[in-house]
Amino acid sequence: MRQSRIAAGACSLLLAAACAFAGPATAQVAPRTAATGYVALGDSYSSGVGAGDYLTSGKECKRSSRAYPVLWAEAHAPASFSFAACNGAGVDEVLTEQLGHLSPRTGLVTLTVGGSDTGFVGVLATCALGGTGGCRSALSRARTTMDGSLAANLDRLYTAIRNRAPAARVVVLGYPHLYHLQGACRLGLGDSERADLNDAVDHLNAVIARRAAAHGFTFADVTAAFAGHEICSARPWLRSVDVLAITESYHPTAPGQSLGYLPVLSRVS
């Protein structure tokens, strides 16, 4: 009896020691919640301004059921979908009004942002009314903003996105060229101003791409997808100036969203 008790005690001690040495390696790990939700952030190019068929729930932001985030969500059925993009949003608005939709469960984040921060609406107005000299001065100021405050603000935004959605794949989409050169337009800006505006879009995309790469995000360039479908082309996917719907001017149409933005996002997501 005594020997069996000693043996039993020794076995208990050995078992306890084994458990102590095994420690966390043999402990059960609680399963993590899969990061499969999709959150669409950004400005009017992501909310779908210009595409029509605006959702009543996003009327003030002009969120369209034809915008590329909605189309992607319909095609891929993510576990959850939050459509936070809003017309006119700049970096500060995305930071303060849209990031609440992010969480550790977010698996994909998409956004377009930067155009509003560089004052492109004012630049376009100056180019339309101020002649070549005024246009180039406005574009020069916009480039200075892109290289300075915009780059710094994008760093703040991208850091905040990663902190709130640590497991997410983040896809930052760029902007298309606005004009098809030597195209069908006979009125309005000359080709030199149109080329200068396209160059400014390239500069903006380059700044966004560099900051996105610095944070480990994917930059998706849409200029090739829109090539041949800019304003003044035979089949434009961008709205020209419309004085009766000025907000929709220079924005992608429904085909611009479905045939321009959506395929680019689908290739990288």
CB atoms within 10 A of CB 126: 19
**Order of strands across the sheet with 106-111?**
81-83, 37-40, 106-111, 169-173, 218-220
State the Cα–Cα distance between residues 197 and 233, nearest whole angstrom: 16
| Residues labelled as active-site residues | 44, 251
Which runs of E-coded beta strand occur in 153-265? 169-173, 218-220
State the Cα–Cα distance between residues 74 and 57, nearest whole angstrom: 17
Evaluate the CA torsion angle 102, 98, 125, 183 in order and state its sign.
Answer: positive
* CA nearest to 238, candidates 191, 183, 186, 166: 183
**Which structure tokens are listed for 149?**
């405050």
Q: Tokens 């039993």 correspond to what residue?
A: 8
Length of the chain: 269
* CA nearest to 43, candidates 142, 126, 92, 111: 111
Amino acid (one-letter) located at 26: T
* CA nearest to 200, candidates 179, 182, 185: 179
Cβ-proximal residues to 228 (8 Å cutoff; 6+ apart), any chain: 180, 235
Q: Tokens 């611009």 correspond to what residue?
A: 256
